[in-house]
Amino acid sequence: MTEASDPEDQRETFAERLREVLLGPKDLEEATVTRGLVLLSVGVYAACVLFSFSPRAILQIPQDTMLLFGANLASLTVGDRRLESLLASVFLHFDVIHLTFNMIALRSVGPFVERSVGKARYFPLVLGSGIVASATSALVGWTATERLSAGASGAICGIIGAAAVLGYRTQGPKGPVTTAMAKWLAATMLLGFVARFDNWAHGGGAVAGALLAASWRRGVTHDEKRVSLVVGACVLALVGTAGAVAYRDLTDRYLFLGIDERLRVAEQALATNRCDVAVEAADRALRLGRRDPVAVDVATRIRRRCGAE
């Protein structure tokens, strides 16, 4: 029979486990950027759940909420030039499983790269890879079949791509880090192909991360002032992105209207001799479908009648 553990030890053990659940393992303490990104992603998911005001949203965020918070849809990102979605969508996740797996992956590879290259390189790497991943997905969707895209996986692939380059530089092509990261990327792409995930985003992020890492000069260090400036600039970019999403949601009355709905607004405005609104609505319809013959015909007719040509 063993003696009961000391209550003080039990409290310390519980506190330590609670800290790890909330803040991550001890190796995450030094990787403050990674920890911040994890907390931000979880916080954004919680905000989406609260905004949806539905118990089901805990498991899966509704599509309209995803769009409102800046999910990446080619017709909006490219057509309506909602460029803030390129970064905002990186921190959005469709469901709790999507969020969980991405955060596990980020916590696995993020601290290693952050400690290896420092915050001044790591933070821009994550944001840059995420933006390129989103842009790749949006451009492919604009020219082919669009899909709603969101999640940190493109940025994570960028981190993995950067880690592979770091491993190649320090250990060679057959080093453990290089091979492990290459296998991880291959598995991610294979899973994406089988499960029909957004592999364009994964590939775009991986290439961006690898190229950024290849551009880093070895032996270069940054003083605390430069680190603070870079981290501060990245934080401002995130805050600015959130502000841009909110501002557009509040001020753009056409944002979530499809082509037919925008054309309907244009026709109704034309019928009441509000040419300024009619032309604006028709132009906004064309943004979503420049190859749509109906939209082109309506816009041309409205412009002729209103003398906008």
Which tens digit of pLDDT belongs to each residue from 232-275? 999 999 999 999 999 999 999 998 898 999 999 999 999 999 99
Q: How crowded is residue 242: how many other Cβ atoms within 10 Å of its Cβ?
A: 18
Boundaries of every domain in the chain: 25-251, 259-306
Q: Which is more confidently placed, 301 or 209?
A: 209
Q: How crowded is residue 108: how many other Cβ atoms within 10 Å of its Cβ?
A: 14
The helix (run of H) or strand (run of E) holding residue 278 is helix 275-288
Copy the structure tokens of residue 88: 């905002």
Q: Could you write out the DSSP letters of every residue in 57-104? A: GGTB--HHHHHHTT-B-HIIIIIS--TTHHHHGGG--SBHHHHHHHHH
pLDDT in tens, 46-92: 999 999 988 899 999 999 999 999 999 999 999 999 999 999 999 99
What one-letter code names the amino acid at 161? Answer: G
- How distant, in Å, are the alpha carbons of 3, 40, 258, 292, 295 from that of 282? 79, 38, 11, 12, 7
Q: Is 82 left (phi over 0), alpha (psi -120 to 50) or beta?
A: beta
CATH architecture of 25-251: Up-down Bundle (1.20)
Compute the C-alpha angle 168/174/175, nearest 5°: 65
CA dihedral 30, 33, 35, 38 (to 10 degrees): -160
**Rounded-to-integer distance, Cα 244 and Cα 70, Å:** 10
Asked whether the whole model's pTM tops 0.75, one would answer: yes
pLDDT in tens, 275-293: 999 999 999 999 987 678 8
Q: According to the model, what pLDDT value does residue 2 have? A: 43
Q: List beta partners, residue 95.
A: 60
